[in-house]
Amino acid sequence: MRKFNESQVQQDYKIIAVDDEEGIIDSLSIVLKRSGYQFTGVTDPVEAIERIRNEHFDLLLLDFLMTPYHGDQVVEEIRKFNKELYILLLTGHKDLAPPLETIKKLDIQGYCEKGDKFDQLLLLIESGIKSIKQMREIQRINEELSDAKDQLEKAYLESIQTLRYTVEAKDTYTRGHSDRVSEFAVLIGEKMGLSEAELKTLKIGGLFHDIGKIGIPDSILLKETKLSDDEYSEIKHHPSIGAHILSNATIFADIIPIVKYHHERYDGRGYPENLVGENIPLLARITSVADAFDAMSSRRTYRNNLEMDVIKEEIRKNRGTQFDPKAADVFLDILENEFEKIQEIQEKY
């Protein structure tokens, strides 16, 4: 079983689990209380709905196949009065989980197969708690700003800087990444004739695009060897985690599409929602090109930066598949004819 540092576990987070099998509830109680969480177990989904209606819980672990209601029906009822509860669905087998459309519609943050070991579930819970912690901070900022509209812009930028620095400070190899992505994206946006408002959103979205990585366990985020399939799947949650963190603050509404969709692919094989072509928001498509370029042109723990000719060829090869063709062509033109602007940005950070 995965061990947790005490600093990773907060005693003031309340978890409720709903499963009509008493043995599952007993097992979860032992594992989660040992990990330091406040835990409540319920076997009756109707009782669980009422408990959540009348008490505060931070995270819900929910069995899918139950009587008299299945898990998706329980979530549908809960979402009528609670939009903020972080929900993880438990299934006997992934083939028995509800369809992706249902999971997205009900804002279920993830699901996990039941098993004798709880490593993967604990990993998902840790990610969820880290996201909830950041949501609390965003809510605190939003409340403080509600009566100070004249200071909104300054506080907005400062809150972004504070949160994103917590991500980049962990890894020296990615430090400055978001700054560069932001500026590269704005270069593309300017060439594409975007408005000042769109360029401003693009700039802030680029700075904040990876904030969801704050919800990824450090053991995965800082791993220097190849990730396992489970670990890679966990990394792929970071756009949705980022969007969820920002979802309760109206001041972040414009940048959420960038945060959530910058890993979508033009051919529909990206994540988290397999959006295709122009169904992907334009600013996310632009950020995707800038993000990929910086990843290829920066040194990582597992490889050196790629040669510029190799990078250009990768962008050409993937225009229309990974990348929006127009955004890719515009950036290739910048690389060919205004490369000094790229170098200035790289030298700055």
Does residue 251 contact residue 156 with C-beta atoms inside 8 Å? Answer: yes
Q: What is the pLDDT of residue 67?
A: 80
Residues of the chain within CATH 1.10.3210.10 domain(s) are 148-348
On the 0-12 / 13-18 / 19+ scale of CB atoms within 10 A, 153 is: exposed
- Catalytic choice (154, 213, 226, 236): 213
Percent of the chain with pLDDT over 90: 48
Please, which pLDDT band fits residue 273 given cuts at 50, 70 and 90?
Answer: very high
Helix, coil or strand: residue 314: helix
Q: What is the pLDDT of residue 171?
A: 62
CATH of domain 148-348: 1.10.3210.10
The CATH number of domain 6-130, selected from 3.40.50.2300, 3.30.413.10, 3.60.20.10, 1.10.1060.10: 3.40.50.2300
The yes-or-no answer on residue 348 being catalytic is: no
pLDDT tens string 172-189: 656 789 999 999 999 999
Rounded Cα distance, 344 and 323, in Å = 24
Residues of the chain within CATH 3.40.50.2300 domain(s) are 6-130
Helix, coil or strand: residue 190: helix
